Amino acid sequence: MRAWLVIVLVVLVTLVGIPLQWLSVALRLPTRRTLPVLYHRTILALVGVRVRVIGKPAPTRPLLILANHASWLDIPVLGSRLPLCFVAKSEVAAWPGIGLLAKLQRTIFVDRSSRTATGRVAGEMAARMNDGDPVVLFAEGTSSDGNRVLPFRSALVGAARQSLGEEAGAAAIQPLAIAYVGLSGLPLGRAGRPRLAWYGDMDLAPHLMEVLRRGGIEVELRFGETLAAGGRKAATQEAERAVRTLLAQALTGRPR
């Protein structure tokens, strides 16, 4: 019963928000950045997700945020904190409903099967960052079970920074860990965390219904310090190490 009530409320909020955001994007109004933040905060409140933030997004621009990825919940969780753009696989654009919302969020889509896609996507990322929008890249290239960080991929990191050009300066890189730490008022252990994660070949609909049925989800975002400029691989590896450390601290409750 709870899940269906949440779905009805989410649909109503979405139907109100879609034309407003479409108009904002079409006319390049300032609300194209602020409306998604308000929308995501409303969705989290309806679903029953509480977000705790440790650290803060860097004020530096251009800014590239490299994060781990565990669930579809990562999108509203991050989107509720600040205006930003995501990089997602091209298949998402064709998903019913979700694809439209991703486009209105001004998501950058990448076709991983195309060898020529990296340059185009990097150019789009650079354009967004030059325009003042932080870009979030889930650098693992897929989602995990929420207990670990998979190896980061460096191709888009280097290409995006290069596309900014020497005059604009390389984008600052900020590591970010997303940790699912509690459920229904109880700490989430290693065995329970995969229940909130959406990874592998899991179907979206059953997982979505299970999350909506539960509610009471606690998420922790840990922002690291921006990293010094460096080569593509070195910067990516440093960001990966930082995210691993931040995630371990969040999951064990240790201070930064």
Number of domains in the chain: 1
Identify the DSSP state of 223. Answer: E
* CA–CA separation, 174 and 171 (whole Å): 10
What tokens appear for 160 in the block? 């995006």
pTM greater than 0.85: yes
Contact criterion met (CB below 8 Å) for 240 and 30: no
> What pLDDT score does 229 carry?
62
Residue 228 sits in a domain whose CATH number is 3.40.1130
Residue range(s) defining the domain that contains residue 85: 2-252
Tell me the CA distances in angstroms from 90 to 68, 104, 203, one per residue in order.
19, 15, 18
* Distance between CA atoms of residues 2 and 6, nearest Å: 6
What pLDDT score does 14 carry?
97
Local confidence pLDDT in tens for the 256 residues of the chain: 888 999 999 999 999 999 999 999 999 999 999 999 999 999 999 999 999 999 999 998 899 999 999 999 999 999 999 999 999 989 999 998 999 999 999 999 988 777 677 788 888 898 899 899 999 999 998 899 999 999 998 888 877 766 666 444 577 899 999 999 999 888 988 988 988 898 888 888 888 888 888 889 999 999 999 987 667 788 899 999 999 999 999 999 877 6
Contact (Cβ atoms closer than 8 angstroms) between residue 60 and residue 172: yes
Per-residue pLDDT, 157? 82
